């Protein structure tokens, strides 16, 4: 899976133009599940543009409640009603700027799975935690809390994105070995919390300054099953190049 996180960029007209260009640039590319995550105001227009193609559309966030007095929020049933199939949960920017916690991620995960959305749950350590040797502890804690009371029967669509916070939008990338090691820790914790078979098949994406020039070295790691891409997904040419450079993606475990 290669997911594009457009963050708070692009007007609806720009989003449509970008999606149209991607369709042309990625025509015939069938190897990867590609998910485009525009700002919520552009979900409908991107869905219209990509309708009937192999490209899926995801939201960047949602509320855990199905409806209610939550001004400014959108719900899982609203997303599925227009054809959105994926949702990013717990992105580090949501955790940093909007008070998202492991607990709200867990609540959102329950709701997303209940409504048949494919959740892309983001975890990752900040620089200080890596420097103090706390990466493993942080990843285990984030995964364990996100998965609280999730039943293995329901969790099959789950996707986890390992996004070291120090690598997001900074131009710094985890080495392929660092990423593979973190993915191994995440997979181990999913096996403990849910079950081994599910963990073996779980897709774990890497995110953090993935670009066309480093995509293949990251995606060639057997432990890395895809990428969550921010900055390099904003220009259709660079995203298409990245998708194509990611050739030889490790077999889904
Ligand atoms: C992201 O937003 O999830 C991300 C990984 O951003 P970037 O690729 O710009 O580091």
Instruction: Tell me if 57 sits within 8 A of 46, measured CB to CB.
Output: yes
- Active-site positions? 91, 163
pLDDT of residue 171: 87
Whole-number Å distance between alpha carbons of 169 and 58: 20
**pLDDT tens digits for range 161-173:** 999 999 998 988 8
Q: Locate the ligand 1 atom nearest the alpha carbon of residue 170 and give its number.
A: 10
Query: Of 56-60, 169-173, 197-201, 224-228, where does mean pLDDT reach its minimum?
Result: 169-173
- Testing ligand 1's pocket by substitution, the residue of 94, 231, 235, 242 carrying the most ligand atoms inside 8 A of its CB is 231
**pLDDT tens digits for range 35-88:** 999 999 999 999 999 999 999 999 999 999 999 999 999 999 999 999 999 999
Whole-number Å distance between alpha carbons of 33 and 227: 11
Whole-number Å distance between alpha carbons of 208 and 173: 6
Contact 228 CB / ligand 1 (< 6 Å): yes
**Ligand 1 center from residue 121 Cα (angstroms):** 14
- With b for 16 or more beta-carbon neighbours within 10 A and e for fewer, the 114-139 pattern comes to ebebbbbbbbbbbeebbeeeebbebb
Arithmetic mean of pLDDT, 177-184: 94
pLDDT of residue 15: 98
How sure is the predictor about 232, in pLDDT bands with cuts at 50, 70 and 90? Answer: very high
- Mean pLDDT across the chain: 94
Q: What percent of the chain has pLDDT over 90?
A: 91
Q: Locate the ligand 1 atom nearest the alpha carbon of residue 232 and give its number.
A: 8
Number of Cα atoms under 13 Å in the Cβ half of residue 49: 21
**pLDDT tens digits for range 123-157:** 999 999 999 999 999 999 999 999 999 999 999 99
**Ligand 1 center from residue 84 Cα (angstroms):** 21
Helix (H) or strand (E) holding 155: none
Its pTM stands at 0.95
**Ligand 1 center from residue 93 Cα (angstroms):** 10
Whole-number Å distance between alpha carbons of 219 and 242: 10
pLDDT of residue 247: 57
């Amino acid at each position: 899976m290669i997911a594009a996180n457009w963050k708070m960029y692009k007007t609806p007209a720009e989003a449509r133009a970008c999606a149209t260009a991607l369709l042309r640039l990625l025509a015939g590319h069938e190897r990867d599940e590609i998910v485009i995550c525009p700002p919520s105001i552009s979900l409908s227009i991107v869905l219209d543009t990509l309708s009937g193609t192999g490209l899926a559309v995801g939201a960047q966030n949602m509320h855990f409640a199905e409806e209610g007095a939550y001004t400014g929020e959108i719900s899982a049933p609203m997303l599925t009603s227009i054809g959105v199939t994926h949702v990013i949960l717990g992105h580090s920017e949501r955790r940093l700027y909007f008070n998202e916690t492991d607990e709200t991620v867990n609540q959102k995960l329950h709701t997303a799975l209940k409504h048949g959305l494919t959740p892309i749950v983001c975890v990752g350590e900040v620089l200080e935690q890596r420097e103090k040797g706390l990466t493993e502890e942080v990843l285990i804690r984030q995964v364990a809390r996100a998965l609280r009371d999730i039943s293995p029967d329901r969790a099959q669509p789950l996707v986890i994105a390992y996004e070291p916070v120090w690598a997001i939008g900074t131009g710094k990338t985890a080495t392929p070995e660092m990423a593979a090691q973190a993915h191994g820790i995440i997979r181990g914790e999913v096996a403990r919390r849910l079950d081994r078979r599910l963990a073996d098949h779980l897709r774990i994406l890497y995110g953090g300054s993935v670009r066309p020039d480093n995509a293949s070295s990251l995606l060639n790691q057997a432990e890395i099953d895809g990428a969550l891409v921010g900055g390099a997904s904003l220009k259709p040419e660079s995203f298409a190049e990245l998708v194509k450079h990611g050739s030889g993606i490790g077999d889904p475990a």
